[in-house]
């Protein structure tokens, strides 16, 4: 059995068998020691390289230098230890993107705990299964989100509350704690966090990531694609419970000593305001948000931006061109997965090919395979298989064997790869529409519709049909000033026929006021199928 610093071996005991793990590759140029604490690397090591006086986080509840952040984190870690935390215990975090959520996240890791960060808008019925799977001993909750948390009946540990005016709130308790906390010398392969997959149904899946994984995503995607410096200012909309947000707003900036602006509400207007106010240079958000910001660009100063990263859902080529035309900046597309922790296929600068996700990020390998895990020829659609320094390890879940096959992570995406190694997204495996024997990728039809000037948002699904078995159905949100009538419906259908092969046009078009999305901003295509698919 490998060495671990965890006294509570809950996560180690629930790792999948080694022979069901994906092949794990080394990070190019990195030589992580056997003992590694990600909190120490992101905070102490960064201060050693860049000093304590650089601004770390700008948030509504605090503006912290790295030195101030270090003091708060060590005090908070001492409070957690006084509350009974032992290495390996799970600590559930519930709050919006703010300074104290980050302090808590770093403090848990420093004390050797395992972080379980949850999306703050989750209800008690959604939190209870997470508590059941992760069995946390402690919870740290923003006072504004306590009402729903109090309804979670299966949590039996202690809750520490931050914010508000209570005399025993976490901030007050940390003020009286020692500012020195010797970190637990966790093993590099000790589990550091449990991230729950978003948008799933049924029992939630907890993905297990180690202290080494936390650094690996900074030393691969961030280092080679984002290419940040200590002078960068990061910002974005995804919550920190969403690993896209955790990497882009916490791990990546801290790894290089940069600053990060934390927004509790990441609406397009708030994001644009933050860019202008703080001189944001690196922006992380979803394609839907980039498109929503376009009408507001002319009213805001975005000249400080140099890196715009898009992930969380497929990036329509029309959105890529519209953003570049409005700002002069090419969007950096990327595909990641909670199971992989962050992005593993992307491209930047002169390597960007609009409409393509990009190439395998240095440190990762990817290929398109058939049902037998055999590579397909260039241009032939197939399942995306990937492996690298991070990979899927579900916590005590029989679905491990579906995601990991033959040492590869099978993401559930349908892709093609060209002869130059560029990967082009077609659809999720369950979003491929087969109509009258033709394979039609829903995102391709969506991209065609988005290129029409009247369309604000669109989602495409397959709908049952007596003659064709299934037909393409589009749910369309129109821009203000356009009429949702039969004339517009025919106009959109004719437009699609001109842009892509005519057989792919949506035979059904339904106009809606909004599209259903998860709390992380992902389109809930399955709900549309239930509504009218």
CB atoms within 10 A of CB 485: 10
pLDDT at 200: 38
The helix/strand/coil state of 212 is helix
pLDDT at 465: 78
pLDDT at 169: 96
- Predicted confidence band of residue 521 (pLDDT cuts 50, 70, 90): low
Beta-carbon-side half-sphere exposure of residue 290 (alpha carbons within 13 Å): 31
Tell me what the mean pLDDT of segment 204-228 comes to.
97
Tell me what the mean pLDDT of segment 315-340 comes to.
94
Residues 6+ apart with CB under 8 A from 136: 89, 90, 91, 92, 116, 155, 157
Tell me what the mean pLDDT of segment 391-412 comes to.
96
Residue length of the chain: 533
Q: DSSP for 37-104?
A: -HHHHHTHHHHHHH-S-SEEEE-SS-EEEHHHHHHHHHHHHHHHHHTT--TT-EEEEE--SSHHHHHH
pLDDT tens digits for 237-286? 999 999 999 999 999 999 999 999 999 999 999 999 999 999 999 999 98
Tell me what the mean pLDDT of segment 338-342 comes to.
96
Tell me what the mean pLDDT of segment 85-104 comes to.
98
Tell me what the mean pLDDT of segment 67-74 comes to.
98
pLDDT at 435: 78
CA 38 to chain centre: 19
- Predicted confidence band of residue 486 (pLDDT cuts 50, 70, 90): very high
Domain ranges of the chain: 65-186, 436-532
- Ranking 34-38, 330-334, 395-399, 513-517 by mean pLDDT, the lowest is 513-517
- Predicted confidence band of residue 198 (pLDDT cuts 50, 70, 90): low
Tell me what the mean pLDDT of segment 181-188 comes to.
98
Q: How far apart are CA 239 and CA 226, in angstroms?
A: 19
pLDDT at 313: 80
Percent of the chain beyond pLDDT 70?
96
Q: How far apart are CA 496 and CA 449, in angstroms?
A: 6
Q: What's the CATH class of domain 436-532?
A: alpha beta
Asked if the model's pLDDT at residue 533 lies above 60, the reply is no
Token reading at 386: 């990937």
pLDDT tens digits for 297-321? 999 999 999 999 999 888 889 899 9
pLDDT tens digits for 40-55? 999 999 999 999 999 9
Asked if the model's pLDDT at residue 412 lies above 70, the reply is yes
Beta-carbon-side half-sphere exposure of residue 364 (alpha carbons within 13 Å): 31
Tell me what the mean pLDDT of segment 58-64 comes to.
95
pLDDT at 273: 97
pLDDT at 201: 44
CATH of domain 65-186: 3.40.50.980
Token reading at 410: 């099978």
Q: How far apart are CA 222 and CA 219, in angstroms?
A: 6
Tell me what the mean pLDDT of segment 35-43 comes to.
98
* E-assigned strand segments in 388-488: 404-405, 408-417, 423-428, 432-435, 438-441, 455-465, 469-478
pLDDT tens digits for 125-167? 889 999 999 999 999 999 999 999 999 999 999 999 999 999 9
- Predicted confidence band of residue 530 (pLDDT cuts 50, 70, 90): confident
- Predicted confidence band of residue 199 (pLDDT cuts 50, 70, 90): very low
pLDDT at 528: 83
Residue 34, judged by CB atoms within 10 A of its CB (0-12, 13-18, 19+), counts as exposed
The pTM of the full predicted model, rounded to 2 decimals, is 0.86
CB atoms within 10 A of CB 28: 12
DSSP-assigned beta bridge partners for residue 209: 193
Q: How far apart are CA 144 and CA 165, in angstroms?
A: 11
Is the Cβ–Cβ distance between 198 and 125 less than 8 Å? no
pLDDT at 163: 96
Is the Cβ–Cβ distance between 319 and 291 less than 8 Å? yes
- Terminal-to-terminal C-alpha distance of the chain: 50
Asked if the model's pLDDT at residue 202 lies above 60, the reply is no
Tell me what the mean pLDDT of segment 5-26 comes to.
97
pLDDT at 529: 75
Asked if the model's pLDDT at residue 473 lies above 90, the reply is yes
Tell me what the mean pLDDT of segment 210-214 comes to.
98
Token reading at 46: 């960064």
């Amino acid at each position: 059995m490998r060495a671990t610093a965890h006294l509570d071996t809950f996560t180690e005991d629930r790792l999948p068998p080694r022979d069901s793990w994906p092949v794990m590759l080394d990070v190019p140029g990195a030589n992580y020691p056997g003992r590694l604490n990600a909190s120490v690397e992101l905070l102490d090591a960064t201060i050693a390289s860049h000093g304590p006086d650089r601004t770390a986080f700008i948030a509504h509840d605090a503006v912290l230098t790295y030195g101030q952040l270090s003091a708060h984190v060590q005090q908070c870690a001492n409070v957690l230890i006084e509350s009974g935390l032992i290495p390996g215990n799970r600590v559930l975090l519930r709050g919006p993107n703010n300074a104290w959520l980050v302090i808590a996240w770093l403090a848990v890791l420093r004390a050797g705990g395992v972080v379980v960060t949850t999306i703050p808008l989750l209800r008690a019925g959604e939190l209870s299964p997470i508590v059941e799977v992760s069995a946390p001993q402690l919870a740290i909750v923003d006072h504004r989100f306590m009402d729903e948390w109090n309804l979670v009946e299966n949590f039996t540990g202690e809750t520490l509350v931050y914010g508000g005016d209570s005399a025993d709130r976490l901030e007050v308790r940390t003020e009286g704690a020692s500012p020195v906390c010797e970190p637990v010398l966790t093993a590099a392969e000790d589990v550091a966090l449990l991230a729950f997959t978003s948008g799933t149904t049924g029992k939630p899946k907890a993905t297990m990531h180690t202290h080494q994984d936390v650094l690996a995503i900074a030393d691969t995607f961030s280092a080679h694609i984002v290419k940040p410096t200590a002078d960068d200012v990061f910002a974005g909309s995804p919550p920190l419970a969403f690993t896209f947000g955790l990497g882009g707003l916490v791990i990546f900036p801290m790894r290089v000593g940069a600053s990060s602006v934390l927004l509790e509400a990441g609406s397009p207007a708030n994001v644009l305001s933050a860019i202008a106010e703080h001189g944001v240079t690196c922006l992380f958000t979803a394609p839907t948000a980039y498109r929503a910001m376009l009408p507001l660009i002319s009213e805001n100063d975005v000249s400080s931006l140099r890196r715009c990263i898009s992930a969380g859902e497929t990036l329509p080529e029309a959105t890529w061109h519209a953003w570049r035309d409005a700002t002069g900046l090419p969007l950096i597309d990327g595909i990641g997965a909670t199971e992989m922790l962050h992005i593993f296929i992307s491209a930047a600068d002169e390597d960007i090919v609009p409409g393509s996700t990009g190439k395998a990020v240095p440190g990762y390998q990817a290929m398109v395979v058939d049902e037998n895990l055999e590579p397909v020829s260039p241009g032939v659609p197939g399942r995306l298989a990937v492996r690298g320094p991070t990979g899927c390890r579900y916590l005590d879940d029989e679905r491990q064997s579906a995601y990991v096959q033959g040492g590869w992570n099978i993401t559930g995406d349908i892709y093609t790869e060209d002869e130059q190694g560029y990967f082009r997204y077609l659809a999720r495996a369950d979003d491929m529409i087969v109509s009258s024997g033709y394979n039609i990728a829903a995102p391709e039809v969506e991209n065609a519709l988005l290129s029409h000037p009247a369309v604000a948002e669109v989602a495409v699904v397959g709908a049952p049909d007596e003659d064709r078995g299934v037909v393409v159905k589009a749910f369309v949100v129109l821009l203000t000033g356009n009429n949702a009538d039969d004339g517009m419906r025919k106009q959109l259908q004719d437009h699609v026929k001109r842009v892509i092969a005519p057989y792919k046009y949506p035979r059904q078009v339904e106009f809606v006021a909004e599209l259903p999305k998860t709390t992380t901003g992902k389109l809930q295509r399955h709900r549309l199928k239930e509504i009218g698919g």
